Amino acid sequence: MTTIGLFDSGFGGLTVAREVRRQMPCANIEYYGDNGRAPYGSRTRDEIVRMTRQCVDFLASKDLDLLIIACNTATVAAFDQLTGKYPFPVIGVIEAGVNAAIATTKNNKVGVIATQFTIQSEAHKKAIQEANPEIDVIGKACPSFCPLIEAGLADSPEMDRDAREYLSVYKDSGIDTLVLACTHYPLIADTIRRHIPDGVAVVDPAVETVKQAIGVLKERGVVVQTCEPAAPGRETSSRREELERESERRDGSCECAPTYHFYTSGDPVHFEKLGSRFFGAPTGKVQQVKFE
């Protein structure tokens, strides 16, 4: 069975993991969230590179077919230093966001919201304008979003207040497309929608990222999305039953029982609780793994 590794500074990568589960229902998932050291977005490039490498080296021991750096900040800071270093392909989330933005905008006015680090790098703006210099890109850092989500305050009045303030920049900007260029942000998509003009298309790069992952795997001859009989003993029977019920609901034919493993440098109980909500399925027991 195909195994996909995902890394993020915390809960954000779960928005990509849940998309992996949707598009590749038979794939195993190995997820590392560096919740104990989030947010990455206010850190220096050297710190982000060092921490990302530690987490990715850990995931590399999990027999992966492909790894997704499910964090825009880590993709900007560390992607070049990670590609080609492992026996499996590594993809980030920037390219997918950029392509989706270009494909979505009709009036060539795009907003990009992300962490301080990502916005300062202008990674999206440069890549979008390299493909089409006619596209105007207005970036806005939203530094409190990630810490509030990590703290379980995604639906809080503080979040609503900060969203109103950050997103006011788009009020009369004329954008028709807004890229959620931090993987945490799809978790507050409803709040974001409330504070941007009606009709603006909100782009979650997770969908394109997973399509890209499937394409890369196929190019390498890895068979994806094929249901295999569940391997006896790999899951508890109740977990397998639950997965089988879900599979039946999906397409009536899936009999596989993929394994999902979650690791965090933060509090594993907090991760189980919030992570299950964000992933859209129970995480099971989360293991704490920390690095210096």
Q: In angstroms, what is the minimal distance from the CB of 36 to ligand DGL?
A: 12
User: 3-class secondary structure for 74-88?
Assistant: HHHHHHHHHCCCCCC
C-alpha 201: how far from chain center: 19
Give yes or no for residue 146 binding ligand DGL (CB under 6 A).
yes
Of 72, 191, 264, 265, the residue at the interface with ligand DGL (CB under 6 A) is: 72
Of 1, 56, 71, 167, the residue at the interface with ligand DGL (CB under 6 A) is: 71
Pairwise CA distance, residues 52 & 79, whole Å: 9
Give yes or no for residue 258 binding ligand DGL (CB under 6 A).
no
Q: Which among 71-79, 84-92, 128-136, 261-269 is the span making contact with ligand DGL, rule CB under 6 A?
A: 71-79
Give yes or no for residue 39 binding ligand DGL (CB under 6 A).
yes
Give yes or no for residue 8 binding ligand DGL (CB under 6 A).
yes
Is residue 26 flagged as an active site residue?
Answer: no
Name the active-site residue from 26, 55, 71, 146: 71
Give yes or no for residue 12 binding ligand DGL (CB under 6 A).
yes
Residue 118 corresponds to which amino acid?
A: T
Pairwise CA distance, residues 210 & 78, whole Å: 20
Residues 16, 10: contact at Cβ < 8 Å? no
Show the beta-strand stretches assigned E in the chain.
3-8, 28-33, 66-69, 90-91, 109-114, 136-141, 177-180, 201-203, 260-264, 287-288
Name the active-site residue from 26, 182, 254, 256: 182
Question: Could you say which residues in the range 149-168 bind ligand DGL, by CB under 6 A?
Answer: none
Give yes or no for residue 40 binding ligand DGL (CB under 6 A).
yes
Of 2, 4, 7, 9, the residue at the interface with ligand DGL (CB under 6 A) is: 9
Question: Could you say which residues in the range 170-199 bind ligand DGL, by CB under 6 A?
Answer: 182-184
- Which residue, 2 or 73, has its beta carbon nearer to ligand DGL? 73
State the Rg of the chain over Cα: 19
The dihedral built from the CA positions of residue 42, 145, 129 and 203, taken in this order, carries a sign that is positive
Q: Which among 25-33, 34-42, 99-107, 247-255 is the span making contact with ligand DGL, rule CB under 6 A?
A: 34-42
Of 73, 212, 247, 264, the residue at the interface with ligand DGL (CB under 6 A) is: 73
Q: In angstroms, what is the minimal distance from the CB of 106 to ligand DGL?
A: 26
| Per-residue contact string for residues 84-123; x = within reach of ligand DGL by CB under 6 A | -------------------------------x--x-----
Pairwise CA distance, residues 254 & 266, whole Å: 34
Query: Which residues lie below 8 Å from residue 50, measured CB to CB, with a gap of 6+?
Result: none
Residue 260 in tokens: 């999902």
- Give the binding-site size for ligand DGL (rule: CB under 6 A): 17
Give yes or no for residue 18 binding ligand DGL (CB under 6 A).
no
Query: Which residues lie below 8 Å from residue 58, measured CB to CB, with a gap of 6+?
Result: 32, 263, 289, 291
C-alpha 131: how far from chain center: 23
Is residue 227 flagged as an active site residue?
Answer: no
Q: How many CB atoms lie within 10 A of CB 285?
A: 10
Residues recognised as catalytic = 71, 182
Contact set with ligand DGL (CB under 6 A): 8-10, 12, 38-41, 71-73, 115, 118, 146, 182-184
